[in-house]
Amino acid sequence: MLNSSGTVTWTNASGGNQGLIQTGNAAAINNSGTWLDQTAFDVIVRNDFGGTQSNFNNTGVYTKSGAATTNIAIGFNNTSSGAGTGVVNVNAGILQLGGGGTSNGSFAGAGTLDFSGGTHTLTAASSVANTNVVFSGGTTTLAGAYNASGSTAFTGGTANFTGTVANSGGALTFSTSGGTANFNNSAGVQFSSLNMQAGSISGAQAVTFTGP
């Protein structure tokens, strides 16, 4: 178990295994302070030692500023207990969440948030306000607020929208890998455009597009 209540700065000087975090046997990384992800090259957190899946539990502030891809391939739980807690800032690069998890906190930033695997449950108190959001694997249920101003992209994953979806200018795209978007949210949904090569759109809510 790793407990951090202060400031952690995570960096790497090259690719390969530099910056790799290995876990296993239900180990937990608990961040209640400030976790600064400044990795300049692609990096991963994974369950290399086997056993029950490990979890990264963020009850503080996780900020990604490195331009590379960070793949957290274990469970990721983003839990808020009040202002300034359960905050994930993806200011650059891509943050992949590949191990599922339960979150009531916030996700935001100009970078890309990628739900890449596992089962993610975002409760009614949660919010996603990243510029770009990708659903590349697994199943994600979003019962809170969702607003991706740049793009919402499906490359194989499933997203169940049951909360509030406010897309004032975002595009909806499906790659050849497909994906499923289910809109059963609290009001109709509007995107700027649709590019659909495979996949499906379903649900009780109307989905409209202001452009091609």
Per residue in 99-118, pLDDT (tens digit) is 999 999 999 999 999 999 99
Is the predicted pLDDT of residue 126 greater than 80, yes or no?
yes
pLDDT at 167 over 70: no
pLDDT given for residue 82 in this prediction: 96
Through-space distance between the first and last CA atoms of the chain, rounded to whole angstroms: 50
The C-alpha atoms of residue 91 and residue 24 are separated, in whole angstroms, by 29
Alpha helices (runs of H) in the chain, residue ranges in sequence order? none
pLDDT tens digits, one per residue of 169-184: 689 999 999 999 999 9
Q: Is 11 left (phi over 0), alpha (psi -120 to 50) or beta?
A: beta
* CA–CA distances in Å: residue 96 to residues 65, 70, 134, 189, 212: 14, 6, 9, 25, 29
Helix/strand/coil percentages in the chain, nearest 5 = 0, 50, 50
What confidence score (pLDDT) does residue 168 get? 60
Residue 9 is predicted with a pLDDT of 97
Residue 145 CA to residue 187 CA, distance in Å, equals 12
Question: Quick check: helix, strand or coil at residue 59?
Answer: coil
